[in-house]
Structure 1
Amino acid sequence: MKRIFIFLLLINVMSCEFFEKKKVYSEELLENEMELFTWNDVDEYPTFSSCDSTIGKANKKQCFENTLRDILNTNLSQYHIVVLESIEDTVQLKITIDNKGEFSINSIESSTLTKQQIPQLDSLLRQSLDSLPKIFPAIKRSQQVTTQFSLPVIIKIE
């Protein structure tokens, strides 16, 4: 009986630390959360209504980019562009979609030859993307956020 009493007493003394409340500081929680937070990734990419049925984050991003390229190709094909020599270049469009779904082109990067041969290329690209359908902004932690993309566009004129 004496052994059981000592055993129960030891368990009781050792178990007291399980009942202690640990203080949690908001700064510490915030710091831990900031370490885990990935700034360069979103939960859902921006999308068009035509991509709503697409399943998966990567597939939605691909659908968004393909829809942008299709609209761009359709609109650019309406212009008759004459060049002195054939051009095959990849133009980088730096675009932003803000948290309200507003689309804007930040910059257009192309080679010097392309700029010389097609000086109006920047304005043609901007005009081609002026009348986009409604864009639903990217989502991060259930909040609509601003995102930036680099969209490569291949220009091939013979």
Structure 2
Amino acid sequence: MRQICVFLLIILLTSCEYFNVKKTSSEVILNEELQTFNWNEVDEYPTFALCDSLSNKQEKQQCFTNVLTDHIFKYLQDQIIVVTKDINDTIDLKLRVSETGIVTILETKVDSLTIKEIPNINKLLSKSLDTLPKIFPAIKRGQQVTTEFKLPIIIQVD
């Protein structure tokens, strides 16, 4: 009986280590969360009402890009552009969609020939964004966020 009591006493004294709870500070939890957080991806891309019926993330992104490109292209087609040389150029637009759904052009990469032939191309591109339909911003972890992306626009004028 005495041996059983000693055995239980040893187990009781050594088992206290299993009941110690390690306290984790909120800073440690935040740092761990931030390390696993992918800042380059969003849960949902910016979208137009037209693209809401799509369920796949990639399809929504493609729809958003297509609607935006088509809108800019149609706006440029409606403008009277007179050139002396044929233009076949790809303009790279760097765009920002704010958390409120406002689109702004951050940067344009246009060939020098295109700028020479169409000196107001940057102004035309900016004006084309003024008539866009309502944009719903990107969402990351349930919050609306600002996103930036590149959009190629092909310009062909004969």
The answer to whether TM tops 0.5 is yes
Residue 11 of structure 1 deviates from its aligned partner by 5.3
Per mean C-alpha deviation after superposition, the further-off stretch among 10-19 and 109-118 is 10-19
Q: Which runs of 5+ in 2 are unaligned?
A: none
User: 2: distance between equivalents of 1:69 and 1:8?
Assistant: 76
How large is the Cα RMSD of the aligned pairs?
1.9
The equivalent of 1:16 in structure 2 is: 16
The equivalent of 1:108 in structure 2 is: 108
**3-state DSSP of counterpart to 2:89:** strand
Residue 135 of structure 1 deviates from its aligned partner by 0.6
The equivalent of 2:144 in structure 1 is: 144
Residue 3 of structure 1 deviates from its aligned partner by 8.1
User: 2: distance between equivalents of 1:11 and 1:89?
Assistant: 80
The equivalent of 1:92 in structure 2 is: 92
Residue 5 of structure 1 deviates from its aligned partner by 6.8
User: 1: distance between equivalents of 2:62 and 2:3?
Assistant: 71
Residues 3-82 of structure 1: pairs in structure 2 closer than 5 A: 12-82=12-82
Residue 100 of structure 1 deviates from its aligned partner by 0.9
Residue 80 of structure 1 deviates from its aligned partner by 2.5
The equivalent of 2:135 in structure 1 is: 135
Residue 82 of structure 1 deviates from its aligned partner by 2.2
The equivalent of 1:124 in structure 2 is: 124
Relative to structure 1, the CA distance from residue 68 to residue 9 in structure 2 (aligned partners, 3 Å threshold; closer, same or farther) is same
Identity of aligned residues (%): 49
How many residues matched?
A: 158
TM-score normalised by L of structure 2 = 0.89
Relative to structure 1, the CA distance from residue 89 to residue 2 in structure 2 (aligned partners, 3 Å threshold; closer, same or farther) is farther
Per mean C-alpha deviation after superposition, the further-off stretch among 79-88 and 65-74 is 79-88
**3-state DSSP of counterpart to 2:139:** strand
Q: Which runs of 5+ in 1 are unaligned?
A: none
Residue 6 of structure 1 deviates from its aligned partner by 7.1
